């Protein structure tokens, strides 16, 4: 009996302060996350080389969200017209999350959702998440206007 009581007291001594710290924190329980430091992918060829997939497609209005970098990222269905790189079928529809520019309590899209306009875009994409949703390689150069055919980045 004495051994069980000592074990219980030890458990309370270890867990008690942790629970108190969580409940005394402003807002109760909190989660932690790290904000991304985005690579400069303003060179289209570098963005192409970095991306898992590169497509030309048209996003539809956001229909869902997924957690990304501590915020809810908008998910769009993208109608793919052309595939320049990656394992994406032409003339298919894929789900793409607009990678947020900030994380935590900040506004996810201070300059607007990169996929918020239903216009044809050149998209540099990540591998699909466990949910099957791809993301933009970064929030600043992951989506942009489609250049002329001669100015498209390529694998070779």
Is 97 within the bounds of a domain? yes
The tally of domains found in the chain comes to: 2
Q: What is the mean pLDDT of residues 87-107?
A: 87
The top-scoring range by mean pLDDT among 1-5, 27-31, 148-152 is 148-152
Both 140 and 67 in one domain: the answer is yes
Both 144 and 103 in one domain: the answer is yes
Bridge-based pairing of strands 93-97 and 71-85 is: antiparallel
Residue numbers of the domain that contains 123? 44-151
* pLDDT of 2 higher than 90: no
pLDDT for 19-78, tens place per residue?
A: 333 334 445 555 555 677 889 999 999 999 999 999 999 999 999 999 988 889 999 999
Both 67 and 125 in one domain: the answer is yes
Bridge-based pairing of strands 134-135 and 93-97 is: parallel
Both 48 and 17 in one domain: the answer is no
Is 39 within the bounds of a domain? no
Q: State the pTM of this model.
A: 0.76
**How buried is 85 (Cβ within 10 angstroms: 0-12 exposed, 13-18 middle, 19+ buried)?**
middle
- 1 pLDDT tier (thresholds 50, 70, 90): low
């Amino acid at each position: 009996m004495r051994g069980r009581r000592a074990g219980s007291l030890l458990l309370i001594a270890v867990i008690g302060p942790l629970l108190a710290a969580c409940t005394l924190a402003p807002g109760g329980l909190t989660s932690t996350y790290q904000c991304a430091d985005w690579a400069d992918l303003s060179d289209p060829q570098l963005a192409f080389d970095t991306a898992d997939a590169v497509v030309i497609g048209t996003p539809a209005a956001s229909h869902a969200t997924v957690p990304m970098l501590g915020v809810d990222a908008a998910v769009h269905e993208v109608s793919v017209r052309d595939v320049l790189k990656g394992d994406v079928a032409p003339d298919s529809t894929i789900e793409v999350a607009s990678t947020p520019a900030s994380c935590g309590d900040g506004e996810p899209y201070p300059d607007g959702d990169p996929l918020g306009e239903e216009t044809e875009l050149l998209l540099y994409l990540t591998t699909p998440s466990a949910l099957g949703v791809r993301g933009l390689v970064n929030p600043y150069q992951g989506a942009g206007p489609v250049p002329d055919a001669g100015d498209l980045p390529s694998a070779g």
